[in-house]
Amino acid sequence: MVAYVFILPYVLFFTIFRIAPALYGTVLSFGDYGLSGTFTLQGLDNYRRLFADSLFWNALRVTGIYAAIAIPLTVAISLAMAQLCNRLLRGMSFFRSIYFLPVVTSPVLAGIVFIWIFSAGGPINSGLSILGLDVGSWLQSSVLVLPALALVSAWLNFGYNMLILLAGMLAIPGDYYEAAELDGASSWQRFRKITLPLLKPALFFVLILETVKSFQAFDTIYVMTGGGPVRASYTLTYMIFDQGFGYFDFGYASAVGVVLLIITLIFSLIQRRILGRDN
C-alpha cells in the first residue's frame, strides 16, 4: 500500500499530462474544432482527407528519411563515445561531463548556432572549400538539409544516450573480458562478442528513445528551416503545427498526430521484436 502512495503523484502526472491529452487528441481527430470552441463530429472525414493529401505523403516520406539518417547516426555516435569513456583514465569524469553538455543546451540556441555552421560561409563549407568542394548552404539544399538536421539531432542527444550505454557497459562483469583476453580475443572481438550482446537492454532503450525523438523532431526544424526548402524538411510534426496553428484546422492536425503515434508505436514494436530483451 505504501508503494502505491509513493507512485501516485507520478501516475497522476502521467495521466493528466500524457494519457488525457492523447485521448482528447484522438477524439478531436474525428471531428472539426472551431476557434469559437464548438466541436462537430465528422467521423472518418479527416482520415479520408489525410490519406488523399499529397502533403501528408510528402511529410511521411521526409519523416522516414530523416529518421533513417538520425537514428543510426545518433546511436552509432553514442555507442562509440560510451566505449571511449569506458576507460579508467585520469580526468575521464571531466570528459564525460563535457560530452553531456549538449544535452542541457537549448535546442533553439543550438539551432541558431548551427544555422551559421551550415551556412555558405560557415566553418563546414570553409573546410570543404580547401578540398575543392563548394556545396553552398546545407539548409538551402533539398538534398543536404535532412543530413544537416540529423547531425544537429545527434549532437544534441548523444550525451544522454552515451550515459545510458556507459552504465550498461560498466554493469558487465570484468571477468568476461579477462577470460576473453586470456583466450587471445582482440579488442574488436571482445566488443562484438561480449559488450554488444550484454548491452542489448540498454541499446534497446536508446533505440526506442531515438525513434520517438526522430519521429517527433520539431524544435530544431522550426528554428533552422521552417520546413523548407520547398518542404524538404516538412516532417509530420511540422505538419501538425502548420495545420493546427497555421490554418487552425485542429481536427485535421489531430488526425496527423494519431497516425504519427501509430507509426511510432509500430516501429518501437518492430525494434523490440528484432532486438529482443533478455531481462
| Greater model confidence, 182 or 90 | 182
Residue range 20-46, pLDDT digits in tens: 988 999 999 999 887 777 888 888 999
- The residue range of the domain holding 186 is 50-108+139-275
Residue 202 lies in a domain: yes
**CA-CA distance, 134 to 117, in Å (whole number)?**
14
Residue 102 lies in a domain: yes
**CA-CA distance, 62 to 70, in Å (whole number)?**
12
Residue range 176-192, pLDDT digits in tens: 988 988 888 888 899 99
**CA-CA distance, 187 to 190, in Å (whole number)?**
5
pLDDT at 120: 86
- Count the domains in the chain: 1
Residue 238 lies in a domain: yes
pLDDT exceeds cutoff 90 at 133: no
pLDDT at 276: 59
Residue range 259-276, pLDDT digits in tens: 999 999 898 888 778 765
Residue 126 lies in a domain: no
Q: Quick check: 169 and 92 in contact, CB under 8 A?
A: no
Tell me the longest C-alpha to C-alpha distance in the chain.
74
Residue 131 lies in a domain: no
Residue 35 lies in a domain: no
User: In sequence order, which ranges of 171-249 are alpha helices (DSSP H)?
Assistant: 174-182, 187-190, 196-198, 200-215, 219-224, 236-241
- 157, three cell numbers: 542527444
pLDDT exceeds cutoff 60 at 277: no
Rounded to two decimals, the pTM is 0.90
Residue range 227-240, pLDDT digits in tens: 999 999 999 999 99
Residue 29 lies in a domain: no
Q: Omega of the bond prior to 229 within 30 degrees of 0, cis?
A: yes
Mean pLDDT, to the nearest integer, of 86-111? 87
Residue 33 lies in a domain: no
Specify the CATH number for the domain of residue 195.
1.10.3720.10
